[in-house]
Amino acid sequence: MNPPPPPEHGAAAAPRRLTVGDLVRIRRPTTGAASLISSPSLSTSTAPPPRKKPKFPPAAPNPPPRSTAPFAPIPHRVLLSGTLSLPAASSPVACRSHCLSLSDSPFAADAASVCCYLLDFDPAAVGREIHVLAWNYLPSVHRDDGVGVLEVIRWCLAEATPALGSGFMRTIPLDCADADELDSGTYGHVFGVVRSVSVVFSMPRASHKSDVGGGDPSVGFIAEIMCCACRKCRGTPPEADEQHKFEVEKFVYFVDSASRWRPVLARMVGRPVSVSGLKKRMVSVGTKGSYTMLVSTRKTMLRWCPSYPAVVELDGSSGNCGGVYAGVVTGIYMQGLLIELDETVWLLLDDQHLAPSHSLRVGAVISVKNGRAIRLKFAWTRIVLLGTCIKTSITINSFSLVDSKCYIKAENRGLLGKFVDSFELPIRFWMLILISCFKQKFTKLFSEKEILGSKNVVPFANFICKGESFWILKMLKIWNGTEVMDKNQRCCPFLCDGISYPGTGKKIISSSDLGSVLVGRIKSSSLPGTLQLVDATGCIDVVIPDLPPNINNYKVVLQGHMAYLDHYDVTDPLSCKAAFQHFSFRKRLNHLKIYVIINWSELNRIGPSSIPLQINTCGKLFHLLKLTHIYPENNTFQHKNLLGHSLYAEAVILPYDFKFTERGECSEHAESFRMSCTYSLGNSKVSMAKSCDIPCTLSFGTTKLYGSLVSIYYCGSVGERDHISRILLEFKDGMFNYQSLRIGGYFLLECPTESLNYSMKGCGCLQGGKISLGSQSRFWTLAITFNGNTNIKPANGDESIGVSSVKMDESFSRKAVHSEIKLVRTWNDFHQYCDFQLNIYCEAKREKMEKYNYICHVFNELCSYSNEVQSVSSFIKTRVPKRPSRSSNLQNDKLVQGDLISLQGKVDNIHPYGCKKEKNMVGNKKYNICIHVTDETHMVRLCGYVSKHGYPVGLGPGASVTFHRALLTHKHELFLTPQTYIEMSSISLAALNEECVVTPLISDCLKDGSLTRVPSCLLFSSQKHFAESRAIQFQCRVVTIHVLVLENILKDSQPSETRRGTINIKVLLAGFIVDDGSSLCCCWADDARAELLLRLQEVAIPHASVASKFSKDGVNIKQTVGSFLESMLKKHKRIIARNCGIPPGISCHDLELSSALNKVLSCLEEKLMKFIILNACWKGTLNVIASALNANTLNGFNLDLPDLHPVRNMPNFWVNQAFQVDPLDEARRMLGMSRRLN
């Protein structure tokens, strides 16, 4: 605390006086007060204060740029005084309806006046000098005049109140001409409670009855006054102590000079006033009729009753403008059209003059009288909307100090103008949300004019954020146990090779639940094969199952790992607030896939169609293709064409071309066309002459063209059918109908070369073996039918000809589940909606029949060019031996050999492959993944690398997929190759039928639900778990190693340098003595589980001498423990280590090491083995899922186990799975367990 001011400055305790003239020189938002508590006055000035300028920021010639900086307090006490009067006629329009004027004495040297708004308004103050005790000053609210606004927080009268008027009624000293010459007989008067006051409005004067002179509109406002109807009050001025009943509604029109009274009357709402000196006028309102209205005159006088209590009698029923709401302004949007109160209520300001705009700032407390409250229920949120009407008045209850920016622009009716005004209140609000969203969405894509003409939307940034927060909420609910995931949503980890992977979940949200519409441009993403919907705020992956943008009916899919997620600390992205704010968002959940599924038929296209369906290029060649394969992205062809992103497909070209025979005419008028054989090598005219006619029709839409199938190459020789040749199709950037590409489908291609030759060879398409298709290329889907049927037998009926796809359809429909969403069309649909239909029909003539049969034969041959799609079961029956090999050594197969097959099934699980999960996570260009695919009875898995971009949208558990060209090795293992194309058929939420999934191919997976979890520290010694053969889960640490058998898996011929991070050794068997804190037991494991327990995949450096000997790449490079073993095992083939020490003690001297080749282990080799075993014992706690093991089972290994007393009595377990403990996870689980316990 500063010492009190010295006594000689006692007079300085009086606050420094401030005039209005001083005030208006202030150039920044300032607050001042006449009494300050915290800091005693620093002022040393004497009283009376000199008329020098106070120490404010100096009056700069150019005001500094306005900022949102809060108010600067004046550090010393100041007392502002001035005379309060009605606003000057020159005061800004925004102020005229609400503010009074505070001015210096007119005799002062630099007299000035300023607009002021008073809290606790008292009519007695009007026309008198007041002391302003606490205030805020906002300079230059209105740019035009440069005069600021004074917000008066506390004030008092400068002198004691002299009575004005009678005791009961007091005259408000407004500037009436002859206030005292009141003649109530001549002029009407009203006494009543002010119910509402309109804003000041102007109205054209009726010229013929003008008493002032036509031209100028009359300016005024209407006050609604509930009057006392008693006879006394009607006749004479009212008296005190009467029980007035204010029941009669009267309207008083304060016009011309009296319109300046509005600030006073607006603050009198709810209080009784008496208005005298009125005259009656008839007012006609359009065609609705005439009303009597009281109009102010020059003699009008306003009086009020200080003693009479305020009568607040407002009609609060919903729908009427009668409610009162007071709240804190929490946001102002759309240039002041929308004001958010208390973060819940939205006030829609129809008229900017309803409120004192300068004081309507964020943080202010306002009260809205005579507002209309409506509850609005949108699909995504609920809000309370406050509407305003002519009766509404808004007053400020408390000023804002946190914000000094004035948001409201006085005249901004141009935004949507009367168009929006013409709507009902909820629609108006809705429109404003839409406009805001559109403005954000399309700032770069469309002009504002285009925006206002389009449909309603949500920006994608908000949309994706909503998806993420929805997912987080769901995860939190699941973790908190308030929501149970559907059965098929695997919350529990999935086991593969003894390693557990987090389960995945999926949530499909229908557009009707979100209540929003997506509008964007569809474009192919930078990765070919993927479509995206784009707007200015972001993009979202989109799947359009049925191809031929504003999307009304769609489904959003959220798919990600089941993991605990922390709360988002953001506002609801679909809330009204987010729509009006500029919403900034960065995707946070990288693992969460969000995409939208839309049916093309549901798409409303805004732009022009990009698929022109017309053929007017007669005289051109049209090739017939059958697609045999689609290459995934980033395939081997990619590097040749780095510039554009292309999609590649493989097709076979049929030996027939279309050639329209009518020259120079559009096909619509063409009567016929011919199919010409591609191998017409000779003179085309001659060939034509030789042609055999198989009649066929080509139809598109309703147009049907008749023609004949022409083959110059005379049908007959079967040996010629190998002239069907494969070709590579390149779809260049911009060609976006690739989603209609379907392996097995037929396509019609307009020959891109300009050649008019009939022969395909001549046209050059085949010469490079590749055809490039750009956006200008003509490429259409084609359905070929035989005698009107897709699955037609030739006339003789003994040979089944057709399209293999039909069979696929059957399996499709059989497994169709209700909650399945199709991502591709069924073949029937595909054929039905093809661009063209080609029907080949057979005539009952013998030679025609032969030709027809031959064509059928050619088509049938085509099937051999694409693999037959197998189901998992049929695959297992034909290809997989009864007991598949346990090991999967993807890493070791340098040259994997086998067959390419196509496999169809439902994805059961998908996870990164291998123990080192973290290495395959996001960020790497390629994922090493493992996909488990099942049908109703069997399950297989496919492993391999999938590029980050080749990962199809929607791939996840529950999805029906077809793997085209997956590699089946001679070891009966399935791999994804760079050529493998994954076709998504459908995704579903339906639970996989657990009972049907009976053959886990690789490991004997445990049913997650069957696990008994042994509580920590409670206890092996309870023994009860041992008898049961069921798996149990417990936490333990390795104490020592009992036995360890390591084997080399590299053949001599194979080079040892493989990819770093993989180990070319195998743990045949390992026995670990583990400790759970209550007892010891012996856990046996092999392969990956043992590797984890042995820490072979972790990086560690043994003693330098050992490291330099066994290191693969030199000492300096960090290596995993296991990699040191490779060269040693190459030499010894197999090493067995036995520990003859008594557990839990560990000493390297008790280790017995032996080599399978009976070679003596060198000193360094021994040291390495010891290091590895010791290293394994210094591992933290692990979660182990194990099942009891009969000790006799171990005899099968033919091992000479050390027979030690404590080990003999220990229970034996077989480790099914081992994984790290996540302490947070564990703690949560434990709390959950406690909950269940009680």
Partner 1 sequence: MDSPHSLHLVHVKLLAADLLTLTSRHTSPPSFARCGRTVTRAEIVGVVVSRDRREKFLRFLVDDGTGCVPCVLWLNHQYLNANNSSSRGSDSDPTAEMALRMSEVMSLGTVLRVRGRIVLYRGAIQIAVRDVVLEKDPNVEDLVLLVNVHVIMVRIELNMREYGQPHYHLVRIAIEKEKQSNQRYRCSMLIWLMRTEKADILGVQP
Site of interaction with partner 1 (CB under 8 A): 1015-1018, 1021, 1037, 1039, 1075-1080, 1102-1103, 1105, 1143-1144, 1146-1150, 1167, 1170-1171, 1174-1175, 1177-1181, 1206, 1222-1224, 1226-1227, 1230-1231, 1233-1235, 1237-1238
Chain centroid to Cα 12, Å, comes to 63
Least gap, CB of 389 to partner 1 (angstroms): 47
Pairing of strands 1065-1075, 1012-1013: unpaired
Least gap, CB of 1235 to partner 1 (angstroms): 5
Residue pointed to by tokens 């080399």: 1048
Least gap, CB of 1041 to partner 1 (angstroms): 13
Tokens of residue 1191, six digits:
């000790």
- Separation of alpha carbons 35 and 78, rounded Å: 8
Q: Which helix (H) or strand (E) holds 1039?
A: strand 1031-1048
Q: Which is nearer to partner 1, 158 or 1017 (CB)?
A: 1017
The four Cα atoms 489, 495, 501, 507 give a dihedral, to 10 degrees, of -10
Q: Which is nearer to partner 1, 662 or 1150 (CB)?
A: 1150
Least gap, CB of 1150 to partner 1 (angstroms): 8
Least gap, CB of 1185 to partner 1 (angstroms): 19
Tokens of residue 51, six digits:
């008329």
Q: How far is CA 1002 from CA 495, 534, 938, 994, 1011, in A?
A: 10, 43, 12, 17, 20
In contact, 621 and 762? CB cutoff 8 Å: no
Q: How far is CA 587 from CA 349, 462, 465, 642, in A?
A: 35, 10, 7, 28
Residue pointed to by tokens 């029109």: 253
Least gap, CB of 1081 to partner 1 (angstroms): 10
Pairing of strands 898-912, 869-871: parallel
Least gap, CB of 1181 to partner 1 (angstroms): 7
Q: Which is nearer to partner 1, 507 or 1037 (CB)?
A: 1037
Q: Which is nearer to partner 1, 239 or 1226 (CB)?
A: 1226
Least gap, CB of 1154 to partner 1 (angstroms): 18
Least gap, CB of 371 to partner 1 (angstroms): 40
Least gap, CB of 1226 to partner 1 (angstroms): 6
Q: Which is nearer to partner 1, 824 or 1044 (CB)?
A: 1044
Least gap, CB of 1146 to partner 1 (angstroms): 8
Q: How far is CA 822 from CA 487, 712, 744, 759, in A?
A: 21, 43, 18, 40
What letters, b where the CB count within 10 A reaches 16 and e where it falls short, cover 890-927? Answer: bebbeebebeebbbbbbbbbbbbbbbbbeebeeeeebb
In three-state secondary structure terms, 511 is: helix
Q: Which is nearer to partner 1, 860 or 1078 (CB)?
A: 1078
Least gap, CB of 1206 to partner 1 (angstroms): 6
Q: Which is nearer to partner 1, 738 or 1171 (CB)?
A: 1171
Least gap, CB of 1173 to partner 1 (angstroms): 9
Q: Which is nearer to partner 1, 379 or 1018 (CB)?
A: 1018
Q: Which is nearer to partner 1, 229 or 1099 (CB)?
A: 1099
Q: Which is nearer to partner 1, 93 or 1017 (CB)?
A: 1017
In three-state secondary structure terms, 639 is: helix
In contact, 633 and 738? CB cutoff 8 Å: no
HSE (side-chain half, CA atoms, 13 Å) at 687? 20
HSE (side-chain half, CA atoms, 13 Å) at 56? 26
Q: Which is nearer to partner 1, 1103 or 1133 (CB)?
A: 1103
- Separation of alpha carbons 1049 and 1042, rounded Å: 23
- CA proximity to 301, closest of 325, 273, 262: 273
What letters, b where the CB count within 10 A reaches 16 and e where it falls short, cover 554-588? Answer: bbbbbbbbbbebeebeeeebbbbbbbbeebebeee
Q: Which is nearer to partner 1, 720 or 1150 (CB)?
A: 1150
Least gap, CB of 1015 to partner 1 (angstroms): 6
Q: Which is nearer to partner 1, 238 or 1122 (CB)?
A: 1122
- Separation of alpha carbons 326 and 378, rounded Å: 24
- Separation of alpha carbons 445 and 713, rounded Å: 55
Q: How far is CA 384 from CA 334, 348, 372, 393, 1001, in A?
A: 18, 11, 10, 18, 58
In three-state secondary structure terms, 854 is: helix
Least gap, CB of 1016 to partner 1 (angstroms): 5
Q: Which helix (H) or strand (E) holds 496?
A: strand 494-496
Q: Which is nearer to partner 1, 464 or 1172 (CB)?
A: 1172
Least gap, CB of 1140 to partner 1 (angstroms): 10
Radius of gyration (C-alpha) of the chain in whole angstroms = 44
Tokens of residue 207, six digits:
């010229």
Report residue 1164: phi and psi, to 5°. Answer: -70, -40
Query: Mind giving me the DSSP string for 718-729?
Result: GGGGGG-EEEEE
Q: Which is nearer to partner 1, 936 or 1226 (CB)?
A: 1226
Q: Which is nearer to partner 1, 889 or 1147 (CB)?
A: 1147
Least gap, CB of 478 to partner 1 (angstroms): 18
In contact, 984 and 954? CB cutoff 8 Å: yes
Q: What angle do CA 699, 700, 704 make, to 5 degrees?
A: 35
Q: Which is nearer to partner 1, 993 or 1162 (CB)?
A: 1162
Least gap, CB of 430 to partner 1 (angstroms): 40
In three-state secondary structure terms, 11 is: helix
In contact, 869 and 962? CB cutoff 8 Å: yes
Q: Which is nearer to partner 1, 586 or 1205 (CB)?
A: 1205
